Structure 1
Amino acid sequence: MTATDRRQFPALSRKPGDDHMTEIRIEREIRLPDDLRTARARSAPHLGPRVLFFSGGSALNGISRQLKHYTYNSIHLITPFDSGGSSQILREVFDMPAVGDLRSRLMALADESVLGQPDIYALFSHRLSRSAPQAELRAELDAMIGGRHPLMAAVTKPMRGLIQARLRSFAAQVPDGFDYRNASIGNLILAGGYLDEGRALEPVLFLMTKMVDVRGTVRAVVDANLQLGVDLADGRRILSQRLISGKEAPPIDSPVTRCFLSDGSQEITPAQVPLPKRNRRLIDRSDVICYPPGSLYSSVVANLLPAGVGRAIAARHVPKVYLPSLGRDPEAPGQSLADRVAAILAPLHADIREEVPARRLMTHVLCDSSVSPSDCAEVTERFGIPCHRLPLQKAAEPDRYDAQAVAEALISLA
């Protein structure tokens, strides 16, 4: 399959006396997949393209594991607004952003070969029992802090000391009655590091990246402890990601009309949650921008709400692709493919505050060939965005993407 990629670049010369650069439009045809580009990336992944994702949850982890064979430079801006599982317990106890999705993506991008740090990877991926008594679970954590636990003992110095220090900080500040059931050790290490670093995520994410040799960049889209909220077509308002996702509550049965951020009691404006400059720079340097599969609102749209995201995306002249989820999304009942495109574009247009063509924000939709031609045609009719049907579905699991096929398609766009 071929697709047309339109970009604008400054011209190489000015007219005499003209202080303004002229912009020219360049078009190129892209073959998906492009065997030459993918082979070149696979042979030198350290020079691979900067494919940037706005995501959360676990839907992208399989693709991320495959992508690291082609590039060590992928960028993952992750939502820290998860309010379920062990992340929520840490949020409530320490008033901190959710770290579970960040840890999960770090592990997906870690070097899992013998040349990496398999012992640290095993420790960070370990979870405490769901059913053991609390005293037994706390004793297991204490054994890790003391270096007596087999998983900790397997980690070599000086990394072992750094990890123990993070767990020690967590244990020193955790209140009595903390629920350790099914707690992720990686999350507890991140929480201890967050407290050690003056309640900042960036330093501890950087350290964990180095510890497990992460093949990419993983950051929270913003470093803030906020809740996600949605307004529904039936007039209801829902606050909290876990109530929106349908994982820990009945799935929503009315279409979402708007998505917003909240301090837990009331809506806050995007201007109160600006995109950090360090993340703006990542967008400015990206070679491909991807709105990936995952829960539409809590994993994708949530990352597009901070002020500055829409403007940064619009300013970058690179392929900007939407890869919609396969199967049913509990967060998007009754929504067509075009409706989901509209949901992604809405906060971006709101941030720009002026009329811009939709293709400034999304240049292509890539979907599996199982998506009907009429659904694709509706996207193009409503937004002028070409929609390409490709064989991307996993043969044995029709609700999942073939990770290698998706990785090669994204690399081909760069």
Structure 2
Amino acid sequence: MKPTPITLTRQGLLPDDLRVARAESAPHLGPRVLFFSGGSALNGIARRLKRYSYNTMHLITPFDSGGSSQQLRLAFDMPAVGDLRSRLMALADESVLGQPDVYALFSHRLPGDAPPRALRDTVDELRRGRHPLMSAIARPMRQLIRTQLDCFVEAVPEGFDYCKASIGNLILAGGYLGHGRALEPVLFMMSKMVDVRGTVRAIVDENLHLGVTLADGRRVLGQRALTGKEVAPLDAAIASVFLFEDPKTGAPVEVALPKRNRRLIEQAEVICYPPGSLYSSVIANLLPAGVGRAVARQPVPKVYLPSLGPDPEARDLTLADQVQAILDPLQRDAGPDVGTGRLLTHVLCDLSVSQAECDAVTRRHGIPCLRLPMKDPGRDIYDVETVSRVLVSLN
């Protein structure tokens, strides 16, 4: 049995199968749903949404400091590209895999147990066009990709660690260096190569890092120290979050939302604060100056889909606390006269969230909190089809 899509109205929830069917029949005319996100938690939903809309918009955090992205950041003093590449691949055309050979190359990851020399040789084979993944790509696209890899290899420092490196990340890094240290041109180029069904941009094109102040006053610097994936989870709740440029001092800095991203927000028909690590994947995108004001100006549904599984970053936070954490940077930017309802209109929860928790959100923030059957049976994640149909129904 298919899940019932919904439309949010002042009267509550109304089914809207017609709206979903219309989007499915003409996804090129589908709704402009905008996500503030990062990480991989949204990728499944993003991939399924292509069935209903080629117009989704994704503003992604470039502040990651873990995994292979960290090696690139240390080597080239650049923004993180891993989450951007991951979302581009999730949105690539899979109806016929528009450019299957390019997709395979960008998605390929080097092994973690090969000798360093063997990994360097593999990258050299790719840049020379001799590796099967590269030789399978038709000209002139093959030459274009090799040019980006040339830029990377010519600049890479001695001893760079290729262990588990994503080839797509290396290509993005080379494009970044070859385009005057700018992300936007190379993201646009990669989007065209794999026929991305949507828009993917970094929230800012700046080399910044994420830091937090804990409830006990301590500061923790760097995204990898927050998520509980590569290091031990935080042992105290997060009180505030900030961006910084200099890893030595961790001094907070302000950065402005680029005009091109402000215009993207202004085009949105639905705005979603999606599941993912609360601070490093979602709230990080709300920190640049101008985000809160741009969101407040849009008279569209603005929904929060909280993560269903455990989130080390949300330690000791109730659902109402999580909502407050999202509202804080938006309200600081939008100003004290902007009401909560202009920044967030609804919280959508699975039935696994108690009615008491939902009621607490409404009492504290004046925001409707709606419980819907959206969980994937047997797993602490959302059912991607159900969520996709719900989001399409909101516009």
TM class by shorter chain equals over 0.9
Q: Distance in 2 between matches of 1:137 and 1:122?
A: 18
- Does structure 1 residue 328 correspond to structure 2 residue 310? yes
Aligned to 1:401, the other structure's residue is in SS state coil
What is residue 267 of structure 1 aligned with on the other side? 251
Quick one: which amino acid aligns to residue 383 of structure 2?
D
- Identify the residue that residue 409 of structure 1 maps to in structure 2: 390
CA shift, 1:253, in A, is 2.0
> Could you list the runs of 5+ residues in structure 2 that have no partner in the other structure?
none
Q: Between the two proteins, what is the percent identity of the paired residues?
A: 65
| Superposed displacement of residue 249, structure 1 | 1.0
Indicate how the Cα distance of structure 1 residues 237 and 371 shifts in structure 2: closer, same or farther if over 3 A, else same.
same
Whether the 8 Å CA contact 1:229–1:260 is kept in 2: the answer is yes
Structure 2 contact 148–178 (Cα < 8 Å) conserved: yes
Larger displacement relative to structure 2 (204-213 or 235-244): 235-244
Q: Tell me which moved more, 112-121 or 174-183.
A: 112-121
Cα gap change, 1:173 to 1:395, in 2 (>3 Å) = same
> What residue identity is the alignment partner of 2:107?
S
Q: Please say if residues 69 and 81 of structure 2, whose CA atoms lie closer than 8 Å, have aligned partners that are also in contact.
A: yes
What is the aligned-residue RMSD (CA, Å)?
1.2
Q: Which moved more, 1:210-219 or 1:351-360?
A: 351-360
Q: Paired residue for 1:129?
A: 111
What is residue 394 of structure 1 aligned with on the other side?
A: 376
Partner letter of residue 372 of structure 2? L
Higher deviation after alignment, 338-347 or 224-233: 224-233
CA deviation profile, 1:51-72 (whole Å, cap 9, x unmatched): 0000000000000010011000
1:152 matched residue in structure 2: 134
Q: Name the counterpart of 2:338.
A: 356
2:86 equivalent to 1:86: no
Structure 1: distance between partners of 2:118 and 2:182:
31
Note the C-alpha offset of 1:30: 5.1
Equivalent in the alignment of 2:164: 182
Match of 1:250 in 2: 232
Q: Aligned pair 1:31/2:14, yes or no? A: yes
C-alpha distance in 2, partners of 1:387/1:29? 11
Equivalent AA in structure 1 for residue 195 of structure 2: D
Larger radius of gyration: 1
The aligned runs of 1:300-319 (5 Å cut-off) are 300-319=282-301
Aligned counterparts of 1:308 and 1:267: Cα–Cα separation in 2: 21
Moved over 3 A (4+): 1-5, 27-30
Distance (Å, rounded) in 2 between the aligned partners of 1:228 and 1:189: 24
- Among 166, 170, 185, which residue is 1:203 paired with? 185
Aligned to 2:87: 105
Q: Is the 8 A contact 1:228 1:239 kept in 2?
A: yes
**In the alignment, which residue of structure 2 is the partner of 1:165?**
147
Contact 1:30 1:412 in 2 (8 A): no
**Deviation of the 1:28 alpha carbon:** 7.5
1:116 to partner: Cα distance:
0.5
TM-score normalised by the chain length of structure 1: 0.92
- Could you tell me which amino acid in structure 1 is paired with residue 159 of structure 2? G
Distance 1:104 1:341 in 2: 26
Given residue 292 of structure 1, which amino acid in structure 2 is its aligned partner?
P
- Structure 2 residue 262 is matched with structure 1 residue 285: no
- Structure 1: runs of 5+ lacking an equivalent: 6-26
Question: In 1, are the aligned partners of 2:221 and 2:250 still within 8 Å (CA)?
Answer: no
Over 3 Å counting, the alpha-carbon distance change for 1:57 and 1:115 in structure 2 is closer
Shift of 1:29: 6.1
Q: CA deviation at 1:254?
A: 1.2
C-alpha distance in structure 2 between counterparts of 1:154 and 1:42, whole Å: 33
SS in 2 for 1:393: coil
* Secondary structure of 1:331 counterpart: helix
Distance 2:97 2:343 in 1: 39
Amino acid paired to 1:35: D
Say whether the 8 Å CA contact 1:260–1:267 is kept in structure 2.
no
